[in-house]
């Protein structure tokens, strides 16, 4: 179970809450006084690290007395060192639109930078959040955001500050069909994500999400910030523009097959083998984003 809040009290743990969103409470402003005398200017970056570490310690102490209890903490703030206290990071409050700097397109470069900075587990507000500066989340935006998130470590719906949240069960027709496909795909990918996340926690690898530059030294992939690999064998190229019928995809070196997602949430390779180290234009529908699976070398 998960609950939003500044901290998880012992009473909440006894009720069965194992995880929480460590949101707010991390701000340092002028005029604050700290017990050790550190001025606010010096404590600004340090305080979130201490805050999240304290929450993590509280959860671990409770877990030591209660076998089977597995605390999970995810945060929106922090600096170097916070990765040792948190289970996941979310990038703050995205706008409910397609804006490059704050909406859906901003999610991928943020995630890739976090991965390279030592944060293997990432989550985003599916559908956006800041709708007081943008229109209400549309069905198309919710579906495209969900497709993106289904192929990241965490898929979490959370949108709207004032115009009303759009829930997946409110979708209809082709939008509901597309959402279901990727929600089911997410369920099938949980074992892969779990295994790679645990390896990263033990110091082996970057985690489930890999920037292309982490596996390919071809200069072609150095500027790619809107694609990633889930594991080493599934290439993801989300649709980040409204009404898109195709998008450009950079294929890393190797051999690849285009894959679609069945209604049961299973990947269906096309059969056609494409050689990588090149850029191609890939058609897309609402039901599918460009996905490619690696073909083993015979």
Q: Is the pLDDT of residue 5 over 70?
A: no
Question: What mean pLDDT is predicted for residues 229-257?
Answer: 98
Q: What is the pTM of this model?
A: 0.92
**pLDDT confidence tier of residue 10, bands split at 50, 70 and 90:** low
What are the b/e assignments for 120-145, b being 16+ CB within 10 Å? bbbbbbbbbbbbeebebbbbbbbbbb
pLDDT digits (tens, 9 = 90+) for 244-259: 999 999 999 999 999 9
How buried is residue 231: exposed, middle or buried, by Cβ count under 10 Å (0-12/13-18/19+)?
middle
- Domains observed in the chain: 87-207 (3.20.20.80)
Q: How confident is the model at residue 78 (pLDDT cuts 50, 70, 90)?
A: confident
Mean pLDDT across the chain, nearest whole number?
91
């Amino acid at each position: 179970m998960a609950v939003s809040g500044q901290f998880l009290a012992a009473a909440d743990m006894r009720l069965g809450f194992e995880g929480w969103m460590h949101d707010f409470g991390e701000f340092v402003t002028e005029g604050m006084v700290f017990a050790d005398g550190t001025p606010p200017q010096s404590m600004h970056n340090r305080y979130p690290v201490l805050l999240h570490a304290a929450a993590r310690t509280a959860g671990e102490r409770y877990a030591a007395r209660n076998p089977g209890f597995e605390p999970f903490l995810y945060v929106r703030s922090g600096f170097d060192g916070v990765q040792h206290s948190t289970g996941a990071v979310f990038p703050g409050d995205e706008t409910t639109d397609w804006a490059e700097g704050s909406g859906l397109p901003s999610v991928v470069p943020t995630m890739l930078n976090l991965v390279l900075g030592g944060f293997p587990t990432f989550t985003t507000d599916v559908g956006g959040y800041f709708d007081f500066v943008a229109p209400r989340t549309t069905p198309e935006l919710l579906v495209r955001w969900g497709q993106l998130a289904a192929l990241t470590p965490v898929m979490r719906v959370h949108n709207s500050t004032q115009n009303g949240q759009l829930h997946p069960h409110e979708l209809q027709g082709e939008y509901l069909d597309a959402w279901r496909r990727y929600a089911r795909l997410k369920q099938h990918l949980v074992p892969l994500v779990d295994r790679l996340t645990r390896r990263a926690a033990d110091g082996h690898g970057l985690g489930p999400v890999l920037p292309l530059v982490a596996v390919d030294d071809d200069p072609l992939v150095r500027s790619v910030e809107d694609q990633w690999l889930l594991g080493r064998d599934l290439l993801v190229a989300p649709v980040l523009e409204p009404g898109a019928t195709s998008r450009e995809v950079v294929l890393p070196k190797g051999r690849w097959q285009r894959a679609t997602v069945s209604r049961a949430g299973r990947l269906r390779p096309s059969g056609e083998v494409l050689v990588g180290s090149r850029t191609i234009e890939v058609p897309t529908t609402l039901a599918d984003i460009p996905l490619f699976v690696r073909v083993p070398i015979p």
